[in-house]
Amino acid sequence: MEQEQFNPRTDLSALNAAVNQIRTVLGNIIVGQKQVIDFLIVGLLADGHILIEGVPGVAKTLSAKLLAKSIDAQFSRVQFTPDLMPSDVLGTPIFNTKTGDFEFRKGPIFGNIILVDEINRAPAKTQSALFEVMEERQVTIDGQTYIMDEPFMVLATQNPIEQEGTYRLPEAQLDRFLFKIEVKYPSLEEETAILMAQHTLVNKTLLNEVKPVLSIQQIQEARAIIRNLFVEPKLLEFIAKIVTETRNNSSLYLGASPRASLAIVHSAKAFAAIQDRDFVTPEDIIAVAVPVLAHRILLSPEKEMEGLTTSDIVNQIIKKIEVPR
- Per-residue model confidence as pLDDT tens digits over 38-62: 999 999 999 999 999 887 777 788 8
pLDDT of residue 7: 47
- Look up the CATH number of the domain holding residue 314: 1.10.8.80
pLDDT tens sequence across 241-268: 999 999 999 999 889 999 999 999 999 9
Q: Is residue 203 very low, low, confident or very high in pLDDT (cuts 50, 70, 90)? A: low
**For residue 164, what pLDDT is reported?**
63
Compute the distance between CA of residue 179 and CA of residue 269 in angstroms, rounded to an integer.
14
Same domain, 40 and 113: yes
Question: Is 60 exceeded by the pLDDT of residue 324?
Answer: yes
Q: Which of 193, 228, 263 is the endpoint of a domain?
A: 228
The pTM for the full model equals: 0.87
Give yes or no: residues 248 and 221 share one domain. no
Which residues face 114 on adjacent strands?
A: 76, 154
pLDDT mean over 73-79: 90
Instruction: Please tell me the predicted confidence (pLDDT) of residue 1.
Output: 39
Asked if pLDDT for residue 6 goes beyond 50, the answer is: no
Residue 5 has a pLDDT of: 44
Domain count, the chain: 2
Residue 2 is predicted with a pLDDT of 44
Within its chain, how far is the Cα of 20 from the centroid?
Answer: 19
Helices (H), the chain: 13-29, 34-45, 60-69, 86-90, 124-127, 129-136, 171-174, 188-199, 202-208, 216-227, 233-248, 258-274, 282-293, 301-305, 310-320
Q: What's the confidence (pLDDT) of residue 177?
A: 94
The parent domain of residue 163 ranges over 7-228
> Are residue 89 and residue 174 in the same domain, yes or no?
yes
Each residue's pLDDT tens digit, 275-321: 989 899 999 999 999 999 999 999 988 888 888 899 999 999 999 99
Q: Convert the pLDDT of each residue in 158-198 to its tens digit.
A: 887 666 667 788 888 889 999 999 888 877 887 787 777 66
Within this chain, do residues 59 and 197 fall inside the same structural domain, yes or no?
yes
Q: What is the residue-averaged pLDDT of the chain?
A: 86
For residue 205, what pLDDT is reported? 57
Q: What is the pLDDT of residues 30-39, one digit of tens each?
A: 777 788 889 9
Residues 63-91, mean pLDDT to the nearest whole number: 88
> What pLDDT score was predicted for residue 143?
81
User: What is the pLDDT, as a whole number, of residue 210?
Assistant: 76
Q: Is residue 1 part of a domain?
A: no
Average pLDDT of span 81-103: 84
Domain harbouring 43, CATH code: 3.40.50.300
Question: How many other CB atoms are found less than 10 A from the CB of residue 12?
Answer: 20
- Examine the pLDDT at 15 and tell me if it is beyond 90: no
| Final residue of a structural domain among 228, 260, 294 | 228
pLDDT for 207 equals 64
